[in-house]
Structure 1
Amino acid sequence: MNLIKRNQNTWDPFDVLEDLQTDLNRMFNRTLTTKGQDWALAFQPNIEIHEEPDHYALQADLPGFKKEDFNISVEGSRLTISGERKHERETKKKGYFYSERSYGSFARSWDFPTEIQSDKIKATYHDGVLDIQLPKSESAKPKQINVEVK
């Protein structure tokens, strides 16, 4: 379960639209299970994004991945992370009693409210967590303007 801090005192109608977009994205990213009998969610990494004055920071849970298993791309203010969790194939069959592991390709995208400096993005992958630092463009960073009062 992801926890999202929200201000309880204000209501923003765009929050409802954002929740709807998230639900629709999850619905359209569903795939058939291997038996083809019922629907199940394909692998989708859990994501956390927060904003700092000069950059955005994203953490994605990608346990069991190698650096070569996923891609990061930026176009304008849109970040996309894609990859594939491959099903482990063994020569002898196992008699599974229960399995909740999910496999398959994934692609997740986010539109940030400001342009990103794509040439200054830094990403690290350690212990199954992908950390991405996305510097804001210079025009998007907060600036202090001194106004003379007469």
Structure 2
Amino acid sequence: MPELVPFRPLRELKREMDRLWTEFFGKETLPEVFEAEWVPALDVSETQDAVIVRADVPGIDPNELEITVSGNTLTIRGEKKQEREEKGENFYRIERSYGSFVRSIQLPADVDTDKVEATYKNGVLKIVLPKKAEAKGKQIPVKVEK
């Protein structure tokens, strides 16, 4: 009776195939068809007046990005379209990859959605979400009694 082999996730299978191809051919030659779904990396910081979110979205047309704030949740949607062309003496190859992403995060404070600003520069999307007045808090000075 044949032995049952446990299921391996596709990423693990691709790593193993890459290792075998690298050993045999001396370089990785398999296309990246088994790559995990891509989502942009995010940095979230908070100042006294705003929450600032930076998203790494290289190669994405800024006009293809959709940013929404609903309640305390910021959502960034977009689509990555990538084409890689390679020509050699005896070959020609073009690989295309397309995929949409959605990234949602809970905001650490209530924000004024009417004043949210988004800018894009060098593949980085920066979203500044000003806090509502009540979310900023009020600093109370300490009086020293004599």
C-alpha contact 1:77 1:112 (8 A) present in aligned 2:
yes
Is 1:85 the counterpart of 2:83 in the alignment? no
Kindly state the Cα deviation for residue 145 of structure 1 after the two structures are TM-superposed: 2.7
User: Which residue matches 1:72?
Assistant: 67
Kindly state the Cα deviation for residue 77 of structure 1 after the two structures are TM-superposed: 1.2
**Which has the larger strand fraction?**
2
C-alpha contact 1:80 1:108 (8 A) present in aligned 2:
yes
User: Alignment partner of 1:139: what SS?
Assistant: helix
Is 1:123 the counterpart of 2:108 in the alignment? no
Aligned length: 111
Q: Which amino acid aligns with 1:137?
A: K
Kindly state the Cα deviation for residue 142 of structure 1 after the two structures are TM-superposed: 2.4
**Between Structure 1 and Structure 2, whose CA radius of gyration is higher?**
2
Kindly state the Cα deviation for residue 113 of structure 1 after the two structures are TM-superposed: 2.8
Q: Within 1, Cα distance between the matches of 2:47 and 2:92? A: 48
> In percent, how many aligned pairs have the same letter?
44
Q: Within 2, Cα distance between the matches of 1:94 and 1:81? A: 36
Is 1:63 the counterpart of 2:58 in the alignment? yes
- Per-residue Cα deviation, 1:67-109 (whole angstroms, up to 9, x for no partner): 112110001111000111124398xx9437xx8x964110000
User: Which residue matches 2:105?
Assistant: 110
User: Which residue matches 1:24?
Assistant: none
TM-score with structure 2 length normalisation?
0.63
Gaps of 5+ in 2: 1-10, 15-32, 86-90
